[in-house]
Amino acid sequence: MTQNELKQAVARAALDYVVADRLVGVGTGSTANFFIDALAGMKDRIRGAVASSEATRQRLEGHGIRVFDLNEVDDLPVYVDGADEINVEMHMTKGGGGALTREKIVAAVAQKFVCIVDESKLVPVLGRFPLPVEVIPLARAHVARQLAQLGGTPQWREGFVTDNGNLILDVHGLSIVDPVALETQINQIAGVVANGLFARRPADVCLLGRSTGVSTLI
């Protein structure tokens, strides 16, 4: 199976977690896009969706799925999203698509986080994929110096502006042995909006696409 076929398989499997007549939170990226396309087939059985990015909002609306502002929502049973890396403790690195801040906010509201990934994303230790950090533009150089002190090599994702009007630093060369501690530490740097470690609020379920089928990690 190709990587896209694996992504499609986990996206379809995630439909089992969508609750009838309720809202579903939707992530960002190519795997989330496959989920949105699959969700379109059951759009009459859900109330609507909450989007984690403008790209996701547009794709949902393109399928005729009603998108709710998160501020109108006090109960979100499930959030479905991809990841750049995940470990067996369900800690993730996210933000390859630059949507990490809104993803983290929607995930924080959701009761259940269902992570959908192909098997290439499952790693023993996070860090091979550069860690995205969303930064207020004024603070870019300051935050980069602080991240270098933590042992990483930050690289400015030039030409990219987040949906929130901020910048992304991709931090290379980190071996993230304690994701919860590093997530907390990076959040303390003045000028950081959010970082791509999703460890304090890990996934609850991981649907892993393998050539032999979809495995569920809980």
Nearest-CA neighbor of 86 among 42, 51, 124, 46? Answer: 124
∠ Cα 88 90 93 (to 5°): 110
* One residue of 18, 25, 87, 95 binding ligand 5RP per CB under 6 A: 95
Residue 93 is assigned to a ligand binding site: no
- Binding part of the chain for ligand 5RP, among 23-31, 64-72, 143-151, 182-190 by CB under 6 A, reads 23-31
CA atoms in the 13 A half-sphere facing the CB of 3: 6
Considering only residues 154 through 183, tell me which ones interact with ligand 5RP, judged by CB under 6 A.
none
Identify which of residues 104 and 154 has a Cβ nearer to ligand 5RP in the complex. Answer: 104
Residues with catalytic roles: 103
Q: Does 94 bind ligand 5RP (CB under 6 A)?
A: yes
Residue 211 is assigned to a ligand binding site: no
- Which string of x and - marks every residue 74-93 that binds ligand 5RP (by CB under 6 A)? -------xxxx---------
DSSP letters for 136-154: -GGGHHHHHHHHHHTT-EE
Residue 121 is assigned to a ligand binding site: yes
Nearest-CA neighbor of 98 among 62, 74, 128, 134? Answer: 134
Q: b/e string for 99-109 if b means 16 or more Cβ within 10 A?
A: bbbbbbebbee
Tell me which residues touch ligand 5RP (CB under 6 A): 27-31, 81-84, 94-100, 103
Question: Which residues are annotated binding-site positions for substrate?
Answer: 28-31, 81-84, 94-97, 121
